[in-house]
Amino acid sequence: MFGLTAADLDRRILGCGDGPAAFNAGLSERGGAVVSVDPLYRFDAPQIAGRIAETYATVMDQVGRNQGDYVWTAIPSIEALGAVRMAAMERFLADFEAGRHKGRYIASELPSLPFARRQFDVALSSHFLFLYSAHLSATFHCRALGEMLRVAREVRVFPVLTVDGLLSPHLPKVSEHMTGQGFRVELHRVPYEFQRGANQMLVVSSA
């Protein structure tokens, strides 16, 4: 979903709003430099596992009732999706306590990050910005992107659609604001599509 190349994976990566995902664990095993931030990380592994157990059935039921909103190719069925997601969360849980001790998982959230200027090469945000445009204002998006660009040279956000599958109404205003601040703003098509129509990421970098 972020079009990451082998060269990208050798860069210093920050994940914003990563939640119980396996990317940090997988890249760290390969020797990559990655830090994930999320308010969820203030809890310990058993507490997070409990929250996953409480919400898992509800989330999968919602997907099942809206199957037409998704592209069932790489993931062919609801059952396969459940298996993929649970495997990822189990990998995260197995890595979490050790990773938190090493500073790879940090309890924090946008639009304020506890890092130095340009501490990272690229910052990633998956399924948070733009997806919840009904709840997060355009001003919040501008502040969040500005903060990510303070700590990283480049930002990639996926997707640029809302949960309803529509292009975020904030995208034009946010793009105009970031361009006005001197950043390069581009939409890139990516070789990933699960939410139907969600196959583009926003890339913002120093001009």
Sketch the domain layout of the chain as residue ranges.
Answer: 8-17+109-206
Can you give the pLDDT at residue 38? 98
Euclidean distance between CA atoms 15 and 17, whole angstroms = 7
pLDDT exceeds 90 at position 201:
yes
CATH code of domain 8-17+109-206: 3.40.50.150
Euclidean distance between CA atoms 168 and 119, whole angstroms = 29
pLDDT tens digit sequence for 24-83: 999 999 999 999 999 999 999 999 999 999 998 999 999 999 999 999 999 999 999 999
Residue the block writes with tokens 């009732």: 65
Q: Which residues neighbour 160 within 8 Å (Cβ) at sequence distance 6 or greater?
A: 130, 167, 168, 171, 187, 198, 200, 201, 202
Euclidean distance between CA atoms 89 and 54, whole angstroms = 14
Q: Which amino acid is at 48?
A: I
Q: Supply the mean pLDDT for the chain.
A: 97
pLDDT exceeds 90 at position 172:
yes
Euclidean distance between CA atoms 131 and 21, whole angstroms = 17
pLDDT exceeds 90 at position 150:
yes
